[in-house]
Amino acid sequence: MAVDFLQKEGYEIVERNWIFQKAEVDIIAQKENVLAIVEVKTRSSIDFGDPQDFVNSKKIKLLVKAVDEYVSRSELDLTVRFDIVAVSKDATIYKIEHLQDAFYYF
């Protein structure tokens, strides 16, 4: 669902489930000169919080390390942005929310 959503928004999917060491990058997408690193979080219920609330600092550090390696290997000269696509289910309806610049690397 997240890939379909991003493609409809004009993103080109560059990689899916890209792995480096202990990190897995769910989606690497590009739109114009922006490389969007997308973490997909899905919850069947928001009783315990929104999907995006479950991206913790450990996950962010792993993503940053993996993306640094990806950009270096690929010799890319693009703006890198970290996004979250949050998918939640309310009864039988899925809600998709795209949070751009969801977190910043440090």
Residue by residue, pLDDT tens for the chain (106 residues) are 999 999 999 999 999 999 999 999 999 999 999 999 999 987 776 666 666 766 778 888 899 999 999 999 999 999 999 999 998 887 788 889 999 998 765 4
pLDDT for the residue numbered 49: 61
CA 56, CA 98: separation in Å to the nearest integer? 17
Domain count within the chain: 1
Radius of gyration of the chain (CA): 14
82 touches 63 (CB < 8 A): yes
| 54 within domain boundaries | no
CA 105, CA 101: separation in Å to the nearest integer? 10
| 34 within domain boundaries | yes
| 104 within domain boundaries | no
| 101 within domain boundaries | no
CA 62, CA 21: separation in Å to the nearest integer? 9
Domain containing 43 equals 2-48+60-96
| 106 within domain boundaries | no
Q: What is the CATH number of the domain that holds 42?
A: 3.40.1350.10
pLDDT for the residue numbered 103: 77
